[in-house]
Amino acid sequence: MEEQQEPKIHVSPAEARRFIEAVLQGNKVPAEHAAIVSKGLVAADLRAVDTHGINRIPSYMTRIRNGILDPAATPLVKQVTPVVHHVDGRNGFGFVAAQRGIDLAIEAAKVYGIGMTSVKGSNHYGMSAWIVKEALKHDMMSLVFTNSSPALPPFGGKSKIIGTSPIACGAPGSGPDRDFILDMAPSVAARGKIYKAKRRGEQIPGDWALDSDGKPTTDPDAALGGVLLPMGGPKGSALAVMMDVFSGVLSGSAFAGEVTGPYDFSRPADVGHFFVVIKPDLFMGLDDFKQRMGTLYERITGSEPAHGVDRVYFTGEREILEQKRREAGGIPLVRAEIDALNEEARRVGVEELKTL
């Protein structure tokens, strides 16, 4: 018998932003920082990356209450060379440290053609694509890396050592809906999807994870007690190690299994990030670059679909289309998620989440 999906309750993007900022400010997050966090979370919900959206608020607030995330921390910046900066997130919100880091890389790239920022002492910054989009606002290409808490075994092992650390990059396209945006985890599935399944009382596919005995499982609790599986075996494992090299080892942050998970409330996370921003008109005019990107888009999307496939999409295009739908129809949540969010609102005496 087909499993029934819990009915979805929709929230407008504007209301989601209002709610997030109110709850954050009620937890002593400065208004400017609350707006940055809200932007990143709602961007994820609009792109259907529901694991990195508004439903992260309860875990973030628990970290503040447990004293392992500083809600008011302002990043410290050190300029290393004209194009290189080192940011200390000072155990504040990862969104805030990431915003500072990508802004510095963008400004350096405007002048010198390339900018690079390494970030240490940070926290979870949500969906990587929102940072890529910050560079795209300035017609810039970008590479966006982060490391994360251990969830994957190295290829051939069974112990958690490397994270489901996403690799992201972007380039401006020939039109506003044709940008290239890649944001992917090196695991078969992001760990946030398993937390989401657990929260919603759903099972997971049998090829996502192993339980503590090393056996495939469809139980999200058993998966979280075991290990996630890297995509493509040694290839996904190697990508995860690469994220640790560039984000953890290079920055001075935790690495090699020492990053604390977002649902581990025992100590600070000490996440590291690495950003590179590149001007796309270094070797040709910007119009020429965008025209060439347009050719790439047309050839990819115009290619002949395989049997049973409706059409071929450009990388990131499905999320762009989903964003348009959710901007019009709202962000879908389930009752348990709304109840958990409203509990946070009641804790600090702010207005609860209004649904459509």
Give the pairing type, strands 180-184 and 209-210: unpaired
Residue 1 has a pLDDT of 34
- 171 burial type by CB count under 10 A (0-12 exposed, 13-18 middle, 19+ buried): buried
Contact assessment for residue 187 and residue 327, using Cβ atoms and an 8 Å cutoff: no
Residue 200 has a pLDDT of 81
Could you state, in chain order, the average pLDDT of each consecutive group of 10 residues for the chain (356 residues)?
A: 70 98 98 98 97 96 97 98 98 98 98 98 97 98 96 84 94 95 90 82 90 89 89 92 98 96 91 98 98 98 96 96 97 96 98 97
- HSE-up of residue 244 (Cα within 13 Å, Cβ side): 23
pTM beyond 0.75 = yes
Contact assessment for residue 158 and residue 213, using Cβ atoms and an 8 Å cutoff: no
Residue 176 has a pLDDT of 81
How far apart (Å, rounded) are the C-alpha atoms in residues 46 and 84? Answer: 32
Return the number of other C-beta atoms located less than 10 Å from residue 169's C-beta.
21
